[in-house]
Amino acid sequence: MQSEFTMPKVELHLHLEGAAPPALIQQMAHEKKVDIKGIFDQNGHYVFRDFTHFLAVYEAATSVLTQPLDFYRLTRAVLEQSASHGVIYTEAFLSPDFCGQAELGPWREYLSAIQEAAADAEKSFGIVMKGIVTCIRHFGPQKAKKASLCAAETAGDFICGFGMGGAETFGVQSDYLYGFDMAREAGLRITTHAGEWGGPESVRQAVFDLNAERLGHGVQVAEDPHLVDELIARDITLEVCPGSNVALKIYPDIRSHPIAKLRDRGVKVTVSTDDPPFFHTDMTKEYAALSHAFGWGKEDFSSLNKTAIKAAFCDTATKDTIIKRLDAE
Ligand code: HPA
Ligand code: ZN
């Protein structure tokens, strides 16, 4: 019988580059004779002081990803890792900004390498991946428009959503409305990082100004009970990443994290890793920490995975297949 740690899992919030195994990035740096030693500690782990520094280290790591083949290798490695933790369905954030400066021509080439790797990984490891194109907030609204054009032009079976990551306190969500509307018109589903750093106000903007269906993190909504009710009324699902929040010191420890309170109040919560090697986490560790802190067991995680697949942005045929696999275990 499967335990709560080995059971099949659904993950909705994973930054592809943020999931890059440090050894792979070091190998690519070596191959390209790029010196990025400063972003690693003596044990070869990514090292950073705070969120702003994390974003800088993140961007330095991605600087070695310079061609579609690099993204093929990255995607395969990431999916192999995820699958080893029981993930059977993952929605990965893909950033055109790191794939040929958000130009449409190069983006198509990078995307096709990512898709090829996803198809190979599905055959080898049984994991299904879909892509959510993300713009990067602190790169500004002009770059975001280019990312949303890439998203709109490649919307389909594989690219099923559009979102925004990066520094949440940079500008306001509605500065990016044009890009979100363009993506929505192309049939893409909408999520945005909100309530990780920007408090309830950022969540309010994401809900009322952008009309987001899901929120990346969203956890700071716990500070505003009326807004919590609004999330419940609108059936908004949170992509919660507890290990990331604790690693970045948004909460001092897992017991202080609001995920359990939000869930008890009736908010739809799901569990993801965000940028696993940066935050020394993986899905097995997330489940173990939640089980330890809140006494969650197999039934709780099973219902969490059902919530996640219902909130997934993929087509219904894919959802049905994944639900069957969840039910079979
Ligand atoms: N938060 C916001 N933006 C990000 C993150 C994150 O944890 N990881 C990669 N981009
Ligand atoms: Zn994130």
Q: Given this model, what pLDDT does residue 1 score?
A: 61
Which helix (H) or strand (E) segment holds residue 271: the answer is strand 268-271
Which of the 8 DSSP states describes residue 20?
-
The first and second tokens of residue 25, run together, are: 């990035």
Place of tokens 């173990």: 288
Q: Is residue 325 part of a domain?
A: no
pLDDT of residue 4 exceeding 90, the answer is no
pLDDT of residue 177 exceeding 90, the answer is yes
CB of residue 218 inside a 6 A radius of ligand 1: no
pLDDT tens digits, 58-77: 999 999 999 999 999 999 99
CB of residue 137 inside a 6 A radius of ligand 1: no
Q: Is residue 1 part of a domain?
A: no
Q: Measured in whole angstroms, how far is the alpha carbon of residue 96 from the centre of its chain? A: 15
Q: Is residue 28 part of a domain?
A: yes
Task: Give the gyration radius of the chain's Cα atoms.
Answer: 18
Q: Is residue 324 part of a domain?
A: no
Percent of the chain at pLDDT > 70 equals 100
Q: Given this model, what pLDDT does residue 2 score?
A: 76
Q: Is residue 326 part of a domain?
A: no
Of the pLDDT bands very low, low, confident and very high (cuts 50, 70, 90), residue 3 is confident
Number of domains the chain is built from = 1
Q: Ligand 1 centroid to 166 CA: how many Å?
A: 5
Q: Is residue 41 part of a domain?
A: yes
Q: Is residue 85 part of a domain?
A: yes
Range of the domain at 193: 9-318
| Ion ligand 2 neighbours, Cβ < 5 Å | 274
Q: Is residue 263 part of a domain?
A: yes
pLDDT tens digits, 209-225: 999 999 999 999 999 99
CA–CA gap between residue 62 and residue 301 (Å, rounded): 33
**The domain that contains 106 carries what CATH number?**
3.20.20.140
